[in-house]
Structures are given as C-alpha cells and as structure tokens.
Amino acid sequence: MSFVVESLCFNYPGQPNLLNGISFSVAKGDVLCLLGPNGTGKTTLLRCLLGINKMKQGKIRIGGRDSTSLTPKELARAVAYVPQATTSVFPYEVLDMVLMGRNPHLKAIATPTPRDKEIAQAALADVGISHLAKKPFSEISGGERQLVLIARALAQQSAWLIMDEPTASLDYGNQTRILKIINELARAEFAIIMTSHFPNHAFLACNKVAIMKGGKILAIGNPDEIVTDTSLSDLYAARIKVVSAQIREKPRQEIKVCVPLLA
C-alpha cells in the first residue's frame, strides 16, 4: 500500500507551471521530508496531494486508487492533514478540536458518538496531552496547539499523514517532542509526507528526503546521500556544512548536523 505521485504538474489559470513533473512514492513506515527555499512550491504540492489544488497533469494513487476517483470523504479517510499551528477565533475546547477529525466518518448532520469520543481521547493520550482536553484551544501554547492538530489527524484514522512544517515557530523542546512523535508514528506504520525549513530534521525523523527548487524535485533518496554540503549550499544559495558528531552514550551514536557558515 503506497502513496504514489507520477509526473504531477500544476499551474494557476493563465500562469506558467508552478510544479513540473513531480514524482515520488511513500509506503507504510516512510517519512518523506520535502526541503526547499521559500516559494519553491512545497505548500502548493501539499495542496495538490490533498485535492485542494487540481493537477494540470499527472497522477496520484493512494493505496492503489486514483485520487480523482475518491469522494472528498473517501480522500479524508485516507489522508489526514496537519497544518501549521494556528489560533482559533472560536473558543473550542481541545477535545472538540480533536473530535473534528472524526467528521469524515460521520453521516451528514450527525453528532459524534461515544465511540468517536473514545477515539479522540485515545489520540490525545497518544501525543501525551490528555490533561488539556477541557482547555480552550486558543489559550494553550504553540507547541501544545501543534500536538492537538496531530491528535486531530490521528483521530481521523488515516493511513497517510501530510504535515506542513510541523515544527514551525516552535522552541527546541517542542520541536523535539514533535519529532519524537513523528518517529513513533513511523514505527506504527503511518506514512508521512512533511515539509520543513530545517535540514537537520531530515536526519532526525526521516528515511527519505526530496530536495525541491523551482517547482521541481532535484534529488530524492536517503538523507545521508541527498543532504550534503553541496546540495544544501546550492539549494539555499548559502554556504552550509554537514558535520558529524559522536554522542557518548551506550551504544555510541553518530549524528549529522547542518551548520550555516557566515564567513
């Protein structure tokens, strides 16, 4: 069961292509990180994968089915979306926000069942924020809001997760929490497509990385092979060095870190 994108192209009416010949696939347990500078088309691509933007050409197959053959509810049952954390103008409680993930499973104008509430509460527990269930979403921290949005996606019970910069604007502590959850979700055989402006995240949480620029994927593969001094420096038009560090723990561990050079 894979999420397969073949030769995807997209443009707005009367405009040149923003995406050109995008192809990749993710299977259960994969985490694909899309890296690229601002304006290169990462969010536009996610909107195509979610069916919000209509492809100019190409195919998306989800679990073997052509995405254009799926109804909106069928697509939402297959693919869940985690946007960047935001505030809500309405005073929804956290549990209510997570319950919204059950909408694709409800009939028109139906209310959540006790089973739906159990699933939402379990999703809160999975990301470690059960204690926030009755808190107003607008009054919790940015890191907590991002965890709520992940819990909402888990309550959707979709096999594929699409995350738009899941650690954007978060401090190191909350970034670490989110990355650990992504690792746990991969071990639970979710397939994840995420964007990031932090190349280090490709090493920490992903087994695949795609480098995007100018609406095209320039390279895709294992982070150790794709994320290099040369590829990052070319991608961001800045001098960047990838260095290795030894972690003195048992067992000893080597990690890679991307460092910008200012001189």
Write the DSSP assignment of 95-123 as a string of letters: HHHHHGGGGGGSPTTPPPPHHHHHHHHHH
User: pLDDT grade, residue 250 (50/70/90)?
Assistant: low
Question: What is the rounded distance in angstroms from the CA atom of residue 46 to the CA atom of residue 35?
Answer: 13
Contacts (Cβ under 8 Å, ≥6 apart) of 53? 10, 44, 47
Choose between 261 and 247: higher pLDDT. Answer: 261
Judge whether residue 87 has pLDDT over 80. no
The mean pLDDT of 18-32, rounded to a whole number, is 97
| pLDDT, tens digit (0-9, with 9 covering 90-100), for 208-224 | 999 999 999 999 999 99
Question: What is the rounded distance in angstroms from the CA atom of residue 51 to the CA atom of residue 58?
Answer: 13
Question: What is the rounded distance in angstroms from the CA atom of residue 201 to the CA atom of residue 197?
Answer: 9
User: pLDDT grade, residue 103 (50/70/90)?
Assistant: very high
Contact by Cβ (8 Å): 203, 256: yes
User: pLDDT grade, residue 252 (50/70/90)?
Assistant: low
Average pLDDT over the chain, rounded to an integer: 94
Of how many residues is the chain composed? 263
**Paired tokens of 127:** 């990301």
**Paired tokens of 71:** 């109804």
Q: For the chain, which domains are there?
A: 1-63+159-227 (3.40.50.300), 79-158 (no CATH)
CA-nearest of 36, 28, 9 to 220 is 36
Choose between 249 and 105: higher pLDDT. Answer: 105
Largest Cα–Cα separation, the chain: 61
Report the phi/psi class of residue 169: left, alpha or beta, with left for phi > 0 and alpha for psi in -120 to 50: left
